[in-house]
Structure 1
């Protein structure tokens, strides 16, 4: 009887802890997403902007994987119909899966985008750095950013915090269900709490090359 009572107390405590943690994470996620309200679009109804920002993601054998291809396809579409004039590809040129910048550039060129409209930031090591460097190094003031729906509210919120008049365009992802679930869990458990800290306690980009230097303003 005592053992059963202890188990019931343990299970009850665990359930309360899980429920409380879930509520906290939901609150954090909602707080981070608030600045993006009314600024998320499909490709069909995306507003025109001088620049479309494409944050990096995994590559394989020098070519974008499904998630990154979806983001790049948005950029190709917006450039093709004149709703964007330039594209800023921002990622990790020394990433564990390969050179994200080279892969993104090659993909865009292979899909008819001229090299002269592609700007590259090899130091967009995360979403925060991508947005901050877009503003501080490349002079971006108004833009759209292309990424998947789970990521988009955070990306738009961080971009606005960096001083960019930013809207988000939803990118598709021909991904496996396991990949989708993993990314959504990481977004809500890790990435949005991190973003909330960055929004309230801003830091410099991890790589400050170009900040205030000769490259500043090239996309202004």
Structure 2
């Protein structure tokens, strides 16, 4: 009887521990990514030179106008190109149901700012961060790159690209103060996306669009 009670007690404690771990792990993982990759995020003056800058997609309006966050990402990459810190830009994103292409809009903006078209790779298969990183390495042969995106997104992007064979350096594209609503949405979405990133790199499933 005493042994049975001890076993039940141990079983109950084990169950509580497992539940606590499962509930706490997402928060620990979120913190761990932010802290670990803080040292891989640079200012332009200290950024290591790389052949390629990868610019992650974000919202584009039907008119072709870039959202504030996306415009800042592309502008940062343009500045890198003109400063001679990168030789080419991979602009990566998706295509909407109405035909609006994030990468094409990004390319057009960069060309208007003086980046030659031959220095821009348009990747319309970058439906998610994982897809962009996977394709950069598997399709475009990237082994080292500067990742250009906002601060909240950089730890996940650095983790994902690094796990997929890219020596990645982060450059923040926070060139302005974004609306509170926009930041709340982005940061809440990022929390779940970091967990998905871990699942993705463990599973290593090729993206739905793999060819160039």
Quick check: TM above 0.5? yes
Q: TM-score, normalised by structure 1?
A: 0.80
Q: Could you say which residue in structure 1 is the equivalent of 2:50?
A: 49
Partner SS state of residue 91, structure 2: strand
1:166 offset after TM fit, Å?
Answer: 0.7
CA distance in 1, matches of 2:89, 2:208: 22
Contact 1:32 1:195 in 2 (8 A): no
Q: Does 1:62 align with 2:55?
A: no
Q: Could you say which residue in structure 1 is the equivalent of 2:102?
A: 100
1:54 offset after TM fit, Å?
Answer: 0.3
Q: Could you say which residue in structure 1 is the equivalent of 2:11?
A: none
Deviations 1:81-138 (A, max 9, x none): 1000100001113367931011101110111111110011111110000000000000
Contact 1:34 1:157 in 2 (8 A): no
Pick one of 201, 204, 207 that aligns with 1:205.
207
Q: TM-score, normalised by structure 2?
A: 0.83
Q: Could you say which residue in structure 1 is the equivalent of 2:27?
A: 26
The structure carrying a bigger strand percent of its residues is 1
Partner SS state of residue 63, structure 1: coil
Q: Could you say which residue in structure 2 is the equivalent of 1:36?
A: 37
Contact 1:28 1:196 in 2 (8 A): no
CA distance in 2, matches of 1:206, 1:173: 32
The answer for unaligned runs of 5 or more in structure 1 is 1-18, 211-220
Deviations 1:41-79 (A, max 9, x none): 123322211000001110012121101011101101110
1:170 offset after TM fit, Å?
Answer: 0.5
Q: Does 1:133 align with 2:108?
A: no
CA distance in 2, matches of 1:131, 1:95: 23
Decide whether aligned partners of structure 1 residues 106 and 139 sit closer, same or farther in structure 2, where only a CA change above 3 A counts.
Answer: same
Runs of at least 4 residues off by over 2 Å: 19-25, 30-37, 42-45, 93-98
CA distance in 2, matches of 1:37, 1:209: 33
The structure carrying a bigger helix percent of its residues is 2
